[in-house]
Amino acid sequence: MHFTLSTATNSGQASNTIYPNQLAIASPQELKKVVQYDHVCGLFKNNQRNIGNFVKADCLVMDCDNDHSDDPATWINPTSIANYFDDVSYAITLSRNNMKTKNKKAPRPKFHIYFPISEIGDARTYAELKHEIQEYFPYFDDNALDAARFVFGVPNTETSWHEGSQTIDQFMMAQRYFAKQNVGSIHVGKRNTTLSHFAGRIIMRLGNTSEARQAFQDEAAKCDPPLKDPELRTIWHSAIKFGQRMTSQKGYIPPEEYNQPNDDLRPDDYSDTGESYVFVDNCKDQVCYTNQSGFMWFDGKVWQESEPLALGEVQRFTDRQLADAQLRVTKAYQVIQQNGVAKDIQTMGKTKASRSFNDDQQTAFKEYENAKAYEAFVLKERSTRGINGILTNARPKLVKEINEFDADPFLLNTPNGPFNLKKGIHGRQDIQASELITKSTSCIPSDQGTAIWQETLNTFFCGDQDLMNYVQEIVGLVAIGQVYLEALIIAYGSGRNGKSTFWNTIANVLGSYTGHLSADALTTGVRRNVKPEMAEVKGKRLIISAELEEGKRLNTSIVKQLCSTDEIYAEKKYMKPFSFTPSHTIVLYTNYLPHVGGNDEGIWRRLIVIFLKPRSLNATILKIMLSI
């Protein structure tokens, strides 16, 4: 289950309409972190929340305030939602007024429920779905159903996570379908409705098969008085059409795959090596290993250097294995119960009973024993030692070269997916794990705040349009992951001129494409090993160095290495050294120009000084601009 929320930069401000941060949620931990800020379930034009600006949403939120009654026995609790939406995916957070007195009413459970949905790009359709859900479950607040509804942030709230086999829009589609199946003119009891529900469920589970049709006939035989054959045929054919519509829905699981053992999860041999092989086959798009950075995990947006996150993927894999093993045990036990094997073992013992089994019973008993052995093996592998062993043994099959990552200089990743810079704003494409992207900007392309930004630039650069154009070209080059300008950009001025504010804003927008290098690493006399710092610039597009001390002399060798198209030789701490082609531009903002010892053209052509005149900055402009 995953969905997207747009958050504000504050909490508890009902008058705010700007929600600039779009964040993907794929775990209860991520949800808890995000909902501490005011948020909405959707993307809005210019990030400004109102119905007219609605762009799209892949999630909707419903409020449950329990205002329908003052009787605690009738209140809805978060744990009871599963009784009404058992097969539906959803997440729950407690609201800020949970168990608090409000409007002189006794404290009661108050919570928000987030339903992932198939992406909707129309505000009216989105609101209609919320109204439909509220009609189905009237305990949801009927005053919180518009497409631009926001939710107040709640710090450290409790969350719960419910994985289901369908989304709420798929669930409601089924409810709409069954509601329309009042076929014919017979009104005795609930025959038509009951058979329509049953037919839809059996079609979804077994498909349009003879087994499903026979189950439907058996159910129809329970009607009193019986429905006529033409009515039964109408119900059945309507269920088939419903099944055809549902199979086209995203995330649909075919009957032949649903609730069936998955051979892809079962190792060929019950050893650590066999387990590592099947883990690699199933999770090679989520986990990899490099000699220079260790284990890496793909979170659906970027690859992260993190062994704990890779171990988490192993744990989730064994969760799937355990469910598969327990399903096999259950199915195998049902068989030996039906053919008498279980009873014989109970009365005579396993050894004696096995001597009396016929061929079919021997096969069923062997299948049961194999399933139990599989379950025991998975339980053993789920130990701390087993989880670590799987990841360690999988390492040879997960190895990638460090230079395979972030290899395409014209892909700029954003929270909404990567953009091909050659195609500009129309170059968005879906993220693929195979692209091996490790970085992302902090926001999506937008024209929000253009006027404020332009006014701020005029303040920074004193209205010098030529200088603004030049700096804009440099910033454009920064966005490309390839060095076209071998230069150290020195933003210089005595203070109060906005040089750090300007470049830090660019750095914040570029998100993890931005790196930092201590200013003294660029100077002579530094005694520590700077190669670990140099290793961290790999894959970055903007490197910020801040505030050089007065009288410092540049280390021309280091500057030439870092401001070049030649490969850089570096190493992370305790890891194997490596070389990489630089993709970054370095910006040093400082109040003092450094001394340069060399007189060769190789160093002087690399130094570009941008002088900003000191002046008083409009505090309001800076405050607003920094919130962009």
Confidence at 401, pLDDT banded by 50, 70, 90:
very high
Q: What is the DSSP letter of 538?
A: T
- State how far the Cα of 490 lies from the Cα of 586, in Å rounded to an integer: 9
DSSP 120-149: E--HHHHHHHHHHHHHHSTTS-TTS-STT-
Provide the pLDDT for residue 528: 86
Q: Give CA–CA dist 314/290, Å, rounded.
A: 17
Confidence tier at 345 by pLDDT (50, 70, 90): confident
Contact 60, 117 (CB under 8 A): yes
The amino acid at 299:
D
pLDDT for the residue 231: 85
pLDDT recorded at residue 210: 82
In whole angstroms, what separates CA 375 from the centre of its chain? Answer: 30
- 108 closest CA partner among 99, 117, 95, 97: 99
Residue length of the chain: 628
pLDDT, averaged across the chain: 87
Q: How far is CA 131 from CA 62, 95, 114, 138, in A?
A: 10, 21, 15, 10
> Mind listing the pLDDT tens digit for each residue in 445-467?
888 888 899 998 998 888 899 99
First to last CA, the chain: 30
Per-residue burial over 542-558, b = 16 or more CB atoms within 10 Å of its CB, e = otherwise: bbbbbebeeebebbbeb
pLDDT of 55-107, one tens digit each? 999 999 999 998 878 888 778 899 888 878 878 999 999 999 898 888 788 89
Summarize the confidence of residues 126-155 as an average pLDDT: 89
Q: What is the DSSP letter of 339?
A: T
How do residues 349-383 score in pLDDT, each as one tens digit? 888 888 888 999 999 999 999 999 999 999 999 99
Helix, strand or coil, per DSSP, at residue 443: coil
Show Cβ contacts of residue 161 under 8 Å, excluding neighbours closer than 6 positions.
1, 27, 28, 31, 91
CA 92/CA 69 separation, integer angstroms: 21
Q: 275 versus 189: which is more confidently predicted?
A: 275
pLDDT at 393: 95
What pLDDT sits at residue 565? 92
CA dist 217 and 227 (Å) reads 11
Phi then psi for residue 365, to 5 deg, are -65, -40
- The CATH class for the domain spanning 450-626 reads alpha beta
Report, as an integer, the average pLDDT of 7-31: 91
For residue 251, the model assigns a pLDDT of 58
What are the sequence ranges of the domains in the chain? Answer: 3-169, 180-247, 263-400, 450-626
Tell me the average pLDDT across 106-129: 92
| pLDDT value at residue 620 | 47
Residue 500 to residue 218: CA distance in whole angstroms: 76
- Confidence band of 182 (pLDDT split at 50, 70, 90): very low
Strand duo 159-162 + 488-492: pairing: unpaired
Give the per-residue pLDDT at 185. Answer: 35
When mean pLDDT is compared over 166-175, 245-254, 281-290, the highest value belongs to: 281-290
Q: How confident is the model at residue 624 (pLDDT cuts 50, 70, 90)?
A: very low
Q: What is the pLDDT of residue 191?
A: 75
Radius of gyration of the chain (CA): 31
Per-residue pLDDT at 622 exceeds 80 = no
Choice between 175 and 232, residue whose per-residue pLDDT is larger: 232
The tokens describing 231, both together, are 């009515």
pLDDT in tens, 184-227: 333 466 677 778 878 887 887 777 888 788 888 888 888 877 88
When pLDDT is cut at 50, 70 and 90, the band that residue 476 belongs to is: very high
The tens digit of pLDDT for each residue in 517-544 reads: 999 889 988 888 888 889 989 999 999 9
What one-character DSSP code corresponds to residue 220?
H
- How far, in Å, CA of 604 to CA of 596, rounded? 8
**How far apart are alpha carbons 106 and 149 in whole angstroms?**
26
pLDDT at residue 184, rounded to an integer: 37
Token readout for 496 is 């109060």
Say whether pLDDT at 418 is over 60: yes
